[in-house]
Amino acid sequence: MQIGLDFNLVEDLVAGVDEVGRGPLCGAVVTAAVILDPSRPILGLNDSKKLTEARREKLFDEICEKALSFHIARAEVDEIDQLNILHATMLAMQRAVEGLHITPKLALIDGNRCPKLNVPSAPVVKGDSQVPAIAAASILAKVTRDREMAAFELIYPGYGIGGHKGYPTPLHLEALARLGPTPIHRRSFAPVRAAFEARGLQANCLLPV
């Protein structure tokens, strides 16, 4: 049985937009916008969470090769702390769409709300399991962020970042309490703030002005 979405659903110059990284305690939130080429099908597109790492990596290269246009964007940790995670995610999605070198006729956004865009847009709940372009965007965003987390594992050993990708697993929470926050931890998130306070520090005083 073939796993994937129906490429016949790909519409001309419709961008799919998705994000990865709203829930983690550290690292940027990463977004992607993709306009697929109806004449160049990509077999096996699906919600990135339903694919193996090896399959995502292969599809990442194929999407970059075959898409009419794609752009990967982000909101950094300091922006998340200043704006909150929802607004930072909307900003990153906006950057992804604005970074496309082709202006889409419509942007379909995974989830239940849309960022402010200069093109028509519509939200699609669970869109990464329904819309091929959103599935492609989810793959680009996840592979990009996972690669970054693997790199941070080398810079900040002991936290297990390469494995849990920054999510609040028991291992991560234990390491956070034992080792303290790193510069890539989101100071506005409760477990990180608690780790600062346990050391007699105020997370707010360390936020960018």
Sheet containing 29-35: give its strands across.
69-75, 29-35, 14-20, 106-110, 121-124
Find out whether 19 is annotated in a ligand binding site. Answer: yes
Q: Which two tokens stand for residue 157?
A: 């050993």
pLDDT at 198: 87
Q: What is the DSSP letter of 121?
A: E
Find out whether 153 is annotated in a ligand binding site. Answer: no
**Three-class DSSP category at 113:** coil
Find out whether 47 is annotated in a ligand binding site. Answer: no
| Whether CATH 3.30.420.10 fits 7-153 | yes
pLDDT at 207: 44
Exposed / middle / buried, residue 183 (Cβ in 10 Å: 0-12, 13-18, 19+):
exposed
- CA nearest to 46, candidates 16, 72, 77: 16
pLDDT at 47: 86
**Model confidence at 178: pLDDT above 70:** yes
Cβ-contact 65, 139 below 8 angstroms: no
pLDDT at 9: 63
**Three-class DSSP category at 78:** helix
Mean pLDDT of 18-30: 98
pLDDT at 3: 54
**Model confidence at 209: pLDDT above 60:** no
Mean pLDDT score of the chain: 92
Which H or E run contains 31? strand 29-35
Amino acid symbol at 71 = H
pLDDT tens, position by position, 78-110: 999 999 999 999 999 999 999 999 999 999 999
**Model confidence at 147: pLDDT above 90:** yes
Flag whether the pTM goes above 0.85.
yes
Reported confidence tier of residue 202, pLDDT bands at 50, 70, 90: low
Mean pLDDT of 127-140: 95
Pairing of strands 69-75, 121-124: unpaired
pLDDT at 208: 40
